[in-house]
Amino acid sequence: MQDFPAFLKGKKIILGVSGSVAIYKSLEILRCLQKLGAEVRVIMSQKAKDFISPLLFESLSHYQVLEDCNQSWGQNPINHIEIAKWGELFLIAPASANTLNKIAYGIADNMLLEAFLAFDKKKLIAPSANTQMLKNKATQRALKILENDGVGIIPTQSKELACKSVGEGALAEPLEIVYWVLRAVLSKPFWLNKEVLISGGGSRERIDAVRYLSNFSSGKMAQSLALVAYFLGAKVCYVGSKFPYHLPLGIEVIKTETSESFLKAIQKWQKHKKTKKEDSFLLMCAAISDYIYPKPHATKTKKEAIGAVWDLKLVQNKDILASLDKSKQRTIGFKLENTSEEVKALKNAQKALKEKGLEGICLNCISPSHNPLTSSHNQILWVGALGEKDLGFGDKFTQSFKIFSELETL
């Protein structure tokens, strides 16, 4: 999360914790939410206090923890109604089998359950339970009831549990839970039924069994776009060779290397996607090699066989963006030019927009002082059919939000 901006600045989140060995992960969730700018208040069930002291949550959140023994209705109230009015999102992590079964049937016999029952905005639950307790028909029935009621259920993971058995039921990783929070808070109705594919990283074109041609692309712009698309609510597929960030499980990931594998992966997505053109978006952010070695060697080429000079005769690569079928989706290209040739760069982008049948191009420039391929920041000029718009200079996540705002106007 090092490069992440304050996505949740000013947002008010209630973190509920119930009795589970996984409660130690709640501390990391709390800190992650705070680093993203959120205010976080904690409610603990009585059983949760058997595992960890409220004082630890209070020292991190800088708010008094709400629990059964300290509810007040006086001049500075702290109670289940007050906190339910305060929060914008309610997350219970971990949620024990006992807690989620009670919630499903409207039982409110502790402070955590009372507050959750009184809360009428976005709700998320991250279960944590023994495999058999989770698989029990009563628990499965409760989970279906909660989903039907609009509560987001964050899937558990399969691993060794506290009881030493291996199976489903472990609390989701803190970052995965935080990603669910970001999607719940940042999603927009426009993107909820949209499919988005983003290609990223540099292609690797084989020379022999150990060497390849590539470039300095870090994949940061592409993965920023993929994460933002996911946060906005879209169904996202990331096709790439570089993975600078840990992506949520909700993003389909296809690992690629060569330009040919990029092409095949995108064509497969085009074939299997469910949405029509106006609801599908392809963002070709990958840095595909302009040249390839036509006949890669199957084994390592020994330097004794090469000699003092290795004269690699490269051939021009296929233009993947130009060759893709544009009738399947709205297609956006990314173009890198030299800062010293800004006027020529814009003309090149406008020319590519028409010749390749694109809806837009994100033009960025490289200079001796700034390389957008490796940096966490970028200067982008949006080039579309209706003209150009300077998106300014900023971190790649902020730039991604601006790009998706432009896509909404297509």
Q: How far apart are CA 218 and CA 223, in angstroms?
A: 9
Q: Which two tokens stand for residue 333?
A: 């290209």
Please report where in the chains the tokens 């900023």 appear, as a residue: 394
| Four-CA torsion 50, 56, 60, 61, nearest 10 degrees | 50
What sign does the CA torsion over 169, 173, 178, 179 have? negative
Q: Which two tokens stand for residue 222?
A: 């592409």
Catalytic residue (one of 32, 69, 163, 237): 163
* Active-site residue flag, 237: no
Q: Which two tokens stand for residue 29?
A: 């969730």
Query: Helix/strand/coil (H, E, C) string of 187-224?
Result: CCHHHCCCEEEEEECECCEECCCCCEECCCCCCHHHHH
Residue from 169, 289, 283, 273 nearest 232 by CA: 283
Q: How far apart are CA 197 and CA 238, in angstroms?
A: 6
Amino acid occupying residue 196: V
Q: How far apart are CA 176 and CA 160, in angstroms?
A: 18
Kindly state the DSSP code that residue 37 receives in the 8-state scheme.
Answer: T
Q: How far apart are CA 63 and CA 79, in angstroms?
A: 13
Q: What is the DSSP string of 75-125?
A: SS-BSHHHHHHH-SEEEEEEE-HHHHHHHHTT---SHHHHHHHH--SEEEE
Beta bridge partners, 197, equal 237, 282
Residue from 44, 73, 79, 80 nearest 61 by CA: 44
- Answer for the pair 363, 349: CB distance below 8 angstroms, yes or no: yes
Residues with catalytic function: 163
